[in-house]
Amino acid sequence: MSIDFPLILVAATAVTGFIWLFEVFYLRSRRISAQKADTEQKNYVKSDSESKQPVLVEYAISFFPVLAIVLVFRSFLFEPFQIPSGSMIPTLQVGDFILVNKHHYGIRLPVLGTKVFDLEKPKNGEVMVFIPPHRDDYFIKRVVGIPGDRVRYQDKIIYINGKKQTQTFVAQVPAEFPEALRYREKLGEIEHMIQRDTFKQTRIDEWLVPEGFYFVLGDNRDQSSDSRYWGLVSEEDIVGKAILVWMHKNPGISFPTFSENRLIR
């Protein structure tokens, strides 16, 4: 079971913020009044150690602004993710750390996911992070069909509303005994790389994308769990637009590298 980090962050921010407000509006004045009365009664001056804030309050005040900044940045601006699988090869490699624009498709409340401001709509060709209908986890795929589109997948080529989407052969991988073929594909105005298995065959399938939903595919077309198998992505489950790779770390014991940083197309 995955850890619900957004919920933990919201809870931690709320608790530390409540303690800080409780200190400002109640505990501090109560502590000062008690110390003043005790000083007058016993006729001595309190030491610094006797007038200090409780440890819990001190830590809450220290952590609250940091947590609040992280919450705002992560919930409404940008959020980092790591790529765990090869479903988006060659665009994204296993171990890539990506940055996702959380406000590109609208402002949503943390944890609840309720959209409060509508901005851009996903476009064909964009790489999107979302929660799929069959699993409570983050997925990343490429948008291939928007509301109203009729998408057909035939001979490993995409047809949108009857129009064949361009694929241009680039290379065999590996070169001598190829197991995959790489193509340059264009969806809408976005040109990107995809990978196709040389041996795996596909059947002809067609989908009509209804309002409020999106059809998505992995760039590693024959090694991807996507809308062909578990259905469409609801607009309510969109997390954001993937915009760049900012770090890469190979699985296992290895040092991260920043030499592969790039924009995601």
Query: What positions carry a catalytic annotation?
Result: 87, 141
Q: Cα dist. 50→53, 100, 104 in Å?
A: 9, 48, 51
How far, in Å, CA of 38 to CA of 35, rounded? 5
Strands 180-187 and 167-173: antiparallel
Q: Which of 65, 76, 66 is nearest to 111 (CA)?
A: 76
Q: Which of 221, 216, 263, 222 is nearest to 238 (CA)?
A: 216
Helix (H/G/I), strand (E/B), else coil: 135: coil
Q: Which of 19, 7, 32 is nearest to 136 (CA)?
A: 7
Contact (CB, 8 A) for 173 and 179: yes
Residues in the chain: 265
